[in-house]
Amino acid sequence: MKITLRRRSMIIAALMTAAMIPCCVVNLATAHTPISGAVVRRAIIGGVNYLLKQERPGSFWERGVKGRGPEGTFSERGGETALVVEALLYVQQTLHLKSLSMFGPALKPAIAMLCHIKPTGNYAVSYQANALALLPLKPAVRRMLRWDQIYLDQAIHNNGAYSYAYFGSPQKDRPFATSTAWDNSNSQYGVLGMWACVHALQRSAPYRYWRLVERHWVGTQFPDGSWGYWGFAGRPPAHQPSAWRKQSMTPAGIASLLIADEYLNRGRNMAVSRGLRWINAHFQPVDSNEYAMYGFERVGLASGLSSFGRHNWYRDFVRTLVNNQNNNGSWGGGFWDADTVSGTAYALLILDRGLNPFLMSKLDDGHHYYGQWNRYPRDVANLASWMSRTTDFPVNWQVVTFKSRLKTWLSAPILYITGSHPPVYSPAEQRKLRHYIDAGGLVLCSCDDASQSFRMAMMKLGEHVMDSKYEFTRLKKTCLLYQMQPWYRNFFINAYGMSNGSRYLWIVAPEDLSRVWQRHAFSAKRPWIFAENLYLYCTGDGDLTNRLKSIYVPRSNGHTNRTLHVTQLKYAGNWNPEPFAWRRYARISRLNYGTTIDYTSSATVASTSARHSLVYITGTSQVALTSQQVSAIKQYLAAGGTLLMDCIGGHASTAGSMRKLVDALVPHASLKRIKASSRLLGGQAGQKHGNAPGVFRKYYMRKHGIKRLPQLYGVRRGKRWVIIFSPLDVGSGLLGTHTWGIDGYSTKYSITLIRSIVAYTAGSR
């Protein structure tokens, strides 16, 4: 079909990207829409089923779009299929659906087509590169990606922009495309396609390519920080674009500049800062244009920013997409029947890519986007991308500030702090760090330029934050952090760690990890493997959640049916290694079980009001009480109280000292195994749950073999268990963390176990 240059920009965009046609479905999203990982998964599966039904044998998701301009004819054939295949491959990485296997009947023929077709349209080439980049680099895939890279390198105009096609056969040493018309939609997808090629092939485009890209996007930015749609070579846009154009093209500009900065290593781009300011002031959380939403997501994932303005962009987009999903599982619609195919593919990319769990949070000191904390803006982004490619669990990252909620901090298991000069944190900011650690987080520090002053400052800060309870020690080669992957045991990195005796709380790496990650220095393998080991350590070898789930539990003021007084005993030793364990459980108990936990800590135990109360003793080393404390506990037990003891970390030495304590408390009694069928554990219900999988942590089962029954011991007085003793860790499980190296119960079973003990002690069993 013959299409003029002006009309071509309207029609191809409608067919290929849905960029020119706003979604026709009325937006029903509200701030009150409940959002969860389960809700997102249901929406994704609905979209997947719709796309699979639209596949046609031989043509897949194609209509064979062609256009003709003054320079010649170009074909977008392969683009629609590539966009859908990319979306489905991303879903397969996270949900592992059998129907989306790359070797299955739905995707294998489509992938084979993408490995051989050579489109001449810019969109199709970009989509093809992004789809193939998700596949193993077999010869056919590598060959096609190399062809895409050559095409995109030669199709870029000498002003750094792209138009719909490069009219020629990509060959080495050919000049730039000479067409004068360009548009920023094609330009952003040209850059995105090149980025996919170089990441997959680990072979960067020439420096001059990224310099051209930067020159174009900086030169076409409007003074207010926004971007428009199109123009001509030598003539920058003369008129301010419409608000609608700005909403879709401004994230395109920021995302493209962030990619270029990744290879130019400039470290500071004021055009990005201006663009982010514009987005923060004009972000529309109810925007229902999937093309524009995808652009905003790209900025969010590339920059690590979870919020634009005061809006959590992912939650807002999820609400919009969930409410706008059609009954058949699709999104989009409008003047072209296939708009629902591209709209659905974009929706799946937004929902699935954004849902991936956070690898780590990078701490923004609040001064400037390119401040000391962000000297290497793409360090953690590149690390997350590398881990997503080299493992079977795709991950994201985020930026947090001291103003971010603790819930947001806790959505990532690692908080990353980097710099070269000693930072100055206020007392309130130091308390925020302490709360994050107490609630289960781990702090990782990297020293820019191997700064010794920064290293010393962060070690001093860590010890101060933890009230000098723990000290930093140099990590040995036998440290668990270097043993997470048996095939990488020789990847030792110089680091210092501070532990509470059960888990690491703070790690300081003297060398410049960020520099390696920023510059794609894959030959320096140690920093990459170390970060991966640390993530596996914090997540229990990959017990992943999603970005919508945090271990943080909100407060609840709801009505409760009963109250249990819990006193944690203080003694001369590490009596409280996990200070937030019972506080978190108290919130869970009030929120879900209708029981108020009145938690306190004390060095004494009162025998008054002993009935329906609980004394808790824990530790990570020897538990040695004074004679006065032993005498007070004896009186407390005689008055009808209950004593619970567990070993944080599950250390045998701690368990041995607790057994000796039991002998001192009840000299003529001995610990007996508490059966899962015991009334303490809920009778038959307890037996059923005790036999269910998931009782123990993955680390414990790998070390001791698969076990299904809890190892709980006690001392009875009459018909009551007055002492309950677990030689395995329960307290860490109450935090909701999955830290590797702990002999204990899973987080889910720890809560179930404590709930049973609380109900038993409160007299309801």
Radius of gyration for the alpha carbons in the chain, expressed in angstroms and rounded: 29
- Nearest alpha carbon to residue 734 among 570, 620, 590, 580: 580
CA 345/CA 332 separation, integer angstroms: 10
**The pLDDT of residue 34:** 77
Name the least confident of 80-94, 150-164, 477-491, 568-582.
477-491
CA 636/CA 612 separation, integer angstroms: 11
Specify which residues 644 forms β-bridges with: 616, 724
**The pLDDT of residue 610:** 82
Residue appearing with tokens 């992957």: 485
Domain spanning 379-538: CATH 3.40.50.12140 = yes
Q: What is the mean pLDDT of residues 747-757?
A: 94
**The pLDDT of residue 146:** 96
Three-state SS for 482? Answer: helix
51-60: long-range contacts at Cβ-Cβ below 8 A with a sequence spacing of 24 or more? 51/84, 51/87, 51/88, 51/341, 51/344, 51/345, 51/348, 52/99, 52/106, 54/341, 55/106, 55/110, 60/84, 60/109, 60/110, 60/113
* Amino acid (1-letter code) at residue 571: Y
- Nearest alpha carbon to residue 513 among 627, 422, 371, 382: 382
Name the least confident of 325-329, 488-492, 639-643.
488-492
**The pLDDT of residue 70:** 42
Burial 512-535 (b: 16+ CB within 10 A, else e): bbbbbbbbbeeeeebbbbbbbbbb
CA 324/CA 136 separation, integer angstroms: 35
> Residue 237: is its pLDDT beyond 70?
no
**The pLDDT of residue 13:** 41
Residues 6+ apart with CB under 8 A from 636: 605, 606, 607, 610, 615, 643
Q: What is the mean pLDDT of residues 724-747?
A: 96
**The pLDDT of residue 66:** 53
pLDDT tens column, 1-58? 333 333 333 334 433 443 333 333 333 344 456 788 899 999 999 999 999 999 999 8
- 692 vs 58, 588, 688, 748, CA distance in Å? 47, 22, 7, 12
Higher pLDDT, 665 or 369: 665
Q: How far apart are the first and last CA of the chain?
A: 79
Three-state SS for 361? Answer: strand
| Cβ atoms < 10 Å from Cβ of 668 | 5
253 token code pair: 């500009």
Name the least confident of 161-165, 175-179, 349-353, 727-731.
175-179
- Ranges of H-type helices in 156-222: 184-201, 207-219
Higher pLDDT, 393 or 5: 393
> Residue 196: is its pLDDT beyond 50?
yes
Cα angle: 716, vertex 719, 725; to 5 degrees: 30
> Residue 681: is its pLDDT beyond 60?
yes
700 token code pair: 């414990």
Q: What is the mean pLDDT of residues 614-630?
A: 96
CA 606/CA 602 separation, integer angstroms: 10
Q: What is the mean pLDDT of residues 409-427?
A: 95
Higher pLDDT, 507 or 239: 507
* Assigned CATH for 562-761: 3.40.50.12140
Name the least confident of 173-177, 194-198, 668-672, 686-690.
173-177
User: What is the pLDDT confidence band of residue 392, given thresholds at 50, 70 and 90?
Assistant: confident
Question: What's phi and psi for 313, nearest 5 deg?
Answer: -60, -35
Question: What's phi and psi for 550, nearest 5 deg?
Answer: -130, 150
> Residue 128: is its pLDDT beyond 60?
yes
Please, what is the average pLDDT of the chain?
Answer: 87
**The pLDDT of residue 32:** 54
- Nearest alpha carbon to residue 354 among 326, 382, 316: 316
Three-state SS for 506? Answer: strand
Domain ranges of the chain: 5-17+44-163+181-355, 379-538, 562-761
194 token code pair: 């090149």
Phi and psi based region of residue 355 (left: phi greater than 0; alpha: psi -120 to 50; beta: remaining): alpha
- Nearest alpha carbon to residue 594 among 552, 562, 564, 565: 562
**The pLDDT of residue 131:** 97
> Residue 274: is its pLDDT beyond 80?
yes
431 token code pair: 């308390």
608-611: long-range contacts at Cβ-Cβ below 8 A with a sequence spacing of 24 or more? 608/639, 609/565, 610/636, 610/637, 610/639, 610/640, 610/641, 611/639, 611/640, 611/641, 611/763
CA 454/CA 470 separation, integer angstroms: 19
**The pLDDT of residue 142:** 96
**The pLDDT of residue 391:** 81
Higher pLDDT, 689 or 161: 161
| Cβ atoms < 10 Å from Cβ of 487 | 7
Three-state SS for 723? Answer: strand
Q: DSSP letter for 714, please.
A: E
310-316: long-range contacts at Cβ-Cβ below 8 A with a sequence spacing of 24 or more? 311/283, 311/285, 313/283, 313/285, 314/354, 314/355, 314/547, 314/548, 315/35, 315/548, 316/29, 316/285, 316/286
User: What is the pLDDT confidence band of residue 464, given thresholds at 50, 70 and 90?
Assistant: very high
pLDDT tens column, 87-126? 999 999 989 999 999 999 999 999 999 999 998 889 999 9
Specify which residues 56 forms β-bridges with: 60
Sheet arrangement for strand 595-602 = 595-602, 562-569, 613-617, 642-646, 720-726, 713-717, 672-673
**The pLDDT of residue 673:** 94
Three-state SS for 443? Answer: strand
Residues 6+ apart with CB under 8 A from 615: 566, 567, 568, 569, 605, 633, 636, 641, 642, 643, 644
CA torsion sign for 88, 304, 544, 749 is negative
**The pLDDT of residue 367:** 73
What pTM does this model have? 0.89
**The pLDDT of residue 177:** 47
CA 694/CA 712 separation, integer angstroms: 16
Specify which residues 60 forms β-bridges with: 56
* Complete DSSP assignment for 670-703: --EEPPTTSGGGTTHHHHHHHTSS-SB-HHHHHH
Question: What's phi and psi for 386, nearest 5 deg?
Answer: -65, -45
Continuous segment of H or E residues that includes residue 565: strand 562-569
* Amino acid (1-letter code) at residue 757: I
Asked if the domains at 379-538 and 562-761 fall in one CATH topology, the answer is: yes
| Cβ atoms < 10 Å from Cβ of 693 | 10
Name the least confident of 191-195, 487-491, 686-690.
686-690
| Cβ atoms < 10 Å from Cβ of 301 | 21
190 token code pair: 């040209």
- Nearest alpha carbon to residue 550 among 401, 735, 352: 735
**The pLDDT of residue 235:** 59
Residues 6+ apart with CB under 8 A from 699: 540, 541, 740, 741, 742, 743
Topology (CATH) of 5-17+44-163+181-355: Glycosyltransferase (1.50.10)
CA 591/CA 587 separation, integer angstroms: 6
CA 734/CA 588 separation, integer angstroms: 10
Question: What's phi and psi for 260, nearest 5 deg?
Answer: -60, -40
CB 730 within 8 A of CB 754: yes
**The pLDDT of residue 233:** 56
Q: Are strands 472-474 and 496-499 parallel, antiparallel or unpaired?
A: antiparallel
**The pLDDT of residue 150:** 94
Three-state SS for 11? Answer: helix
